[in-house]
Amino acid sequence: MTKLHELNQIGQSIWYDNIQRSLITDGGFQALINAGVVGVTSNPSIFKKAIADSADYDEAMSRLAAAGKSTNEIYESLAMDDIAQTADLFLPVYEATDGLDGYVSLEVDPTLANDTETTISEARRLFTALARPNVMIKVPATPAGIPAIRTLIGDGININVTLLFAVANYQAVAEAYIDGLEALAANGGDVSKVASVASFFVSRVDAAVDEALAAVGNTELQGKIAIANAKVAYALFHDLYSQARWQTLAAKGARPQRLLWASTSTKNPAYPDVLYMDGLIGPETVNTVPPATLDAFLDHGTVADTLETETAVAQKQVAQLADLGVDLDAITTKLQEDGVASFAEAFAALMQSTENKRAELKPA
């Protein structure tokens, strides 16, 4: 038994924040499954690194380029194939957990983050094309993304809501999920077959808040607000899913939209490398972990239920920010805007690296 199995006994699922063809073909994902990993997430940055920095895709790219496929068609073919094969590998996990875990996430084109209708149509297209019950489509929690999430859940599509930083934004996402399930149930759909996670980004909050705290001369709260903010969101999770409105859906087999901790690698080298794993362990949660952080946790992480401790302290720490003149709402709003821009830039870089390789590999 590994530490990941111990986390699972507490009620936390560990997903792997990485994907690459060699992990599929060389048994890497199967080894991770054996170690207790129960899901996978991807994003444009991950695909860029996989395609540009390895030879894993050269043969497939050569074939697609020779067939006259465009850069976008080549990328989508490669990415969809990776997602489909990985979903097939994790299908036994999905079945063994009765649909709780075993999911593989693919992101809608991040340049659509402010376009509700196109996000909806793209998410529908990707989910239909992949045709696997354990695929999640990633949609950002932007003002345009919230109504898209509501509609897509109402369609019965599994959604990984991404780029969450603020507790108020999380509440809007949770309400969109519940609205969507109610619409699905009203239309005769099976709410027990839909899954969703709300991906709360963690380390970036400390990076931004620490800078603001330094500007006002406070060191006491540095390195503490990201986890405190997550604990406040987790308390809200418990409140939302204990209400009568939710109980009506739960009676029909609906599952809560679990909080997923993302951006859990430590950005500040002065902080422990497992800070955002050790500090965010609790029931009904997911932590999606990049390779180096997962290795570090397996080596020297501590398994303990930490999310349900010192909630009042966390709330007090967050409240202190206002007294210090630090506007957490403004910081989290900017973090989301920056995150959208960063993902769009990564997608553009992914397209450029794919084009470069296509040109390199295409026969003369």
- Domain regions of the chain by residue span: 3-359
Tokens describing residue 134: 């354990």
What pLDDT, on the 0 to 100 scale, is given for residue 198? 98
Tokens 């330094």 label which residue? 214
H helices present in 26-96, as ranges: 28-35, 44-52, 58-66, 71-96
What pLDDT, on the 0 to 100 scale, is given for residue 355? 86
Contact in structure between 326 and 212 (CB atoms under 8 Å): yes
Question: Parallel, antiparallel, or unpaired: how do β-strands 104-107 and 258-262 relate?
Answer: unpaired
> Mapped to the 3 state alphabet, what secondary structure does 123-177 carry?
HHHHHHHHCCCCEEEEEECCCCHHHHHHHHHHCCCCEEEEEECCHHHHHHHHHHH
What pLDDT, on the 0 to 100 scale, is given for residue 267? 92
pTM of the shown model = 0.96
What pLDDT, on the 0 to 100 scale, is given for residue 315? 97
Determine the Cα–Cα distance for residues 155 and 180; give it in Å rounded to an integer.
Answer: 8
CB atoms within 10 A of CB 8: 18
What pLDDT, on the 0 to 100 scale, is given for residue 362? 64
Average pLDDT, consecutive stretches of 10 residues, N- to C-terminus, the chain (364 residues)? 97 97 96 98 87 84 86 91 97 98 96 96 98 98 98 98 97 98 98 97 97 96 98 98 97 98 95 98 98 97 96 97 96 96 89 82 62
CATH of the domain spanning 3-359: 3.20.20.70
Active site annotation includes 138? yes
Active-site entry in 3, 138, 231, 357: 138
